Amino acid sequence: MRLLVTLCFALLFSTAASAREFAIDHLEPASWWVGMKHDRVELMVHGDGIAMLTPRLAHPGISIAGVEKTGNPNYLFVTLAIAPDAKPGGLEIEFLDGAKVALRHPWRLDAREAGSAQRHGFDATEAIYLLTPDRFANAEPGNDSVAGMVERANRADANGRHGGDIAGIRRHLDYIAGMGFTQLWPTPLLENNQPGYSYHGYAITDLYRTDPRFGSNEDYRALSREARRHGLGLIMDVVLNHVGDHHWWMADPPAPDWFNRTAGYAGTNNRRTTVQDPHAAPEDKALFVEGWFVKSMPDLNQRNPHLATYLIQNTLWWIEYAGLTGIREDTFGYADTAFLSAWGRAVMDEYPDFAMVGEEWSANPAIVAHWQRGKVNPDGHVPYMPSMMDFPLQIALRTALAQPEGWDSGWIGLYEMLANDFLYPDPGRLVVFAENHDSARMLAHLGGDVALWKLAMAYVATVRGTPQFYYGSEVLLQGPRERNDGELRADMPGGWGGDTGNAFTGKGLSPAQRDAQQYVRALFNWRKRSPAVQHGKLQHFAPADGVYVYFRYDGQDTVMVALNRNPGAVSLALDRFADFIPAGSRGHDALTGKPIVLDAALPLAGKSATIIEIAPREDRAHREVQARRSASGE
C-alpha cells in the first residue's frame, strides 16, 4: 500500500512538472554579428524557473560553448561561440526540459556593415553639439505619453517630460550641421520608466530599448544614418555605474551581488580622489565606488563577471547596431576600476579608431589625467579611454571670466590651468567646453553678459582639444544662475508648435539672439576650415593688462587669438609676439575676412575675442623665424 501511494505521488509530481509552461521574459542581447573580435557572446536568459532547462541550437557556425547558473533559478547565462564563417540570418534557440522542447526563442546573427571595425571616431577636427532630447524638439506629440510608461508629459513642470523626441532631432539635423557642428551627442535615449525625473535619461530601466517616448530602436538607428548624410556623427551617452530603481533587475536580481550596498541605501561620498590617494581610508574609497549615485539610481557591482560581460556587450551592441562614432561615458570614475579597464580595452580592441570620452567631474587635472589612455599611473591602473571631459579647464574658464582681473585672478587662472597639460598623455584629445547639461549656462554664470559669453565661446573653439557646445546657448538660453537642472535644460525655442521664437528659422528672435547665433555659426564653420586650430600646436603668453594671447600653428598656417576682457578698447603691443608676427606681416579677421594691419600695435575692442589668420610669408626673415621655431621643438 505504501509503495502504491509513493508511486502515485511520484506520478502526480512528474505530470505536474511536465505540464509546467515556461516563458522567456528577457533574452539579451537579441542579436550579434559575424566577424566580431568579441565572438563569444554571453546571453542573459531570464524567465520563471528557466534554470531548469537546457539550451540547444543548430545553426552553421554557432555552438553553445558554456552554460552557467546563479543562485537565482530564473536565470541562465548561455555562451555562444560564433565562427568567422557563421551564416548570417535568423535562428531559434531551443530550451529542453529533459528530452522535451519546452520552448523556442528567436535569435539573430547579422552581417557587419562594410568597414565597421575601422570606423573613425571624433577627434580635434570635430565639434560636438550636446542636446537634451526631451527639451530639443517635439515632432511627434502622439508619443509624449505612452501606455506602460509611468511618467506622463507635463510641459508646465520644469522637471517633467516635455515631449522632445528623436523625430524632432532628425527634423533639425540640417540646422545643427549648418551651425558648424560635426558630432551630435544626445543625453541618454534609452528607456527610463521612472515615476519622476525620467526626462534626463540617466536612470535607465532597459539597456537594450530606446524609450518609446523618444521613439524606437529603429528610430535611433535611422537618426544615426540620417545624421551621417548631414555630415554628423552620433555619440551615445553610456551609463555603466548605475541603473534606475525601476529597472526590472530590481524585482528579480540575477545574483545576490548584482548591486552594491543593497542592505540599506548608502549614497556615494563623491570623494573621487580616493581612487588614487595613497593615504585614503579603504572605507572611503569603497563608499565612493559602491555608494549609490542617488536613491533612485542603484549602484551596479561590475565585479560580478556576468554583469561585467553584460555591460561590455551592451556597449559593443549599440556601437554596431546604431553605427555610432563615439561614446560619452557618464560618472566614469564611480565604477569599478578594473572593470573600466576591461570595458575600455574591449571597445578599443573591437574598434581601434573609435572615440570615447569619460566624465570625471574634478577641477584637479591629475585626477582627470589618471583615466586617459597612455597614462602611467603609480597605482598600476591601465586606462583605455582616448579622451576625457576637460572639467579642470571648464571650471578655470568659468572662474576666470567671473573674477575681477588681477595679478592672481582672472585670466591667469586659466593660463596656469592650461599649463597642466604636461599631466595628460594626450591633451589634444580632451573635450573642452564652457557648459553642459549639469552646469548653469555660461550666460547665467556671467550675469547675462553676452560679450563675456562670446569670449568663452571663442576660447572653447580655438584652444586645443575637441570643442563641445550645449544646445540653445546660440540663441542665448540663460536659465538660473544657481544650478537648477529642469530650468537650465530649457526647451529649444521653435521646437514646439506655438513657440513665439524659433531658433531653427530665426523667426521671432531678438536682434541679440540673432547676433549670438550668427557668431556661433561663423565661429564653428570657420573652425571646420582651420587645420591650425584643429591639429596645430599651441603657444600662449602670460596674460597682461586683461588680455590673454595665444597662437595655434602647424608649420603652414598661423592663427592668433587675443582675448580682451577689459570693458574698454585697448591697444596691444605686438613686439612680444615677433616669433609669430614678423615685421611686415599681414592678416585678416578669421570670422569676417576683414584685412588687419599687424604693425606695432593691434587695437582690441572691449570684451572681445580677436581671431586673426596670419598670412604666410615667404621672405627670408619669415623663413628664419620658422627655422628657429622648428629648432626649438615648437
Residues annotated as catalytic are 330, 359
**Which one-letter amino acid corresponds to residue 584?**
G
Cα–Cα distance between 441 and 162 in angstroms, integer?
A: 20
DSSP state of 232: -
Cα–Cα distance between 527 and 533 in angstroms, integer?
A: 7
| Omega before residue 595 within 30° of 0, cis | no
DSSP state of 481: S
Under a CB-based contact definition with an 8 Å cutoff, are residues 428 and 421 in contact? Answer: no
Which residues share a beta bridge with 121? none
Among 246, 284, 239, 243, residue whose Cα is nearest residue 266: 284
Under a CB-based contact definition with an 8 Å cutoff, are residues 494 and 475 in contact? Answer: no
Cα–Cα distance between 447 and 434 in angstroms, integer?
A: 15
- With residues binned 3-state (H G I as helix, E B as strand, rest as coil), the percentages for the chain, rounded to 5, are 30, 25, 45
Under a CB-based contact definition with an 8 Å cutoff, are residues 502 and 508 in contact? Answer: yes
Among 491, 449, 489, 499, residue whose Cα is nearest residue 606: 449
Q: What does the buried/exposed string (b/e) look like for 370-380 if buried means 16 or more CB atoms within 10 Å of the residue's CB? A: bbbbebeeeee
Cell, residue 443: 550666460
Count Cα neighbours of 375 within 13 Å in the Cβ-side half-sphere: 29
- Helices and strands in the chain: count of H runs, count of E runs: 17, 26
Strand ranges inside 112-249, DSSP E: 128-131, 183-186, 190-191, 206-210, 233-239
Report how far apart, in Å, the C-alpha atoms of 521 and of each of 469, 526, 613 are. 12, 8, 18
**Which one-letter amino acid corresponds to residue 352?**
P
Dihedrals phi, psi of 525, to nearest 5 degrees: -70, -35
DSSP state of 143: G
CB atoms within 10 A of CB 456: 24
β pairing state of 595-597 and 586-589: antiparallel
472: Cα separation from own chain's centroid = 18
Which residues share a beta bridge with 541? 549
Cell, residue 514: 540673432
Helix (H) or strand (E) holding 551: strand 547-553
β pairing state of 40-46 and 75-82: antiparallel
Cα–Cα distance between 171 and 190 in angstroms, integer?
A: 20
Cα–Cα distance between 418 and 423 in angstroms, integer?
A: 10
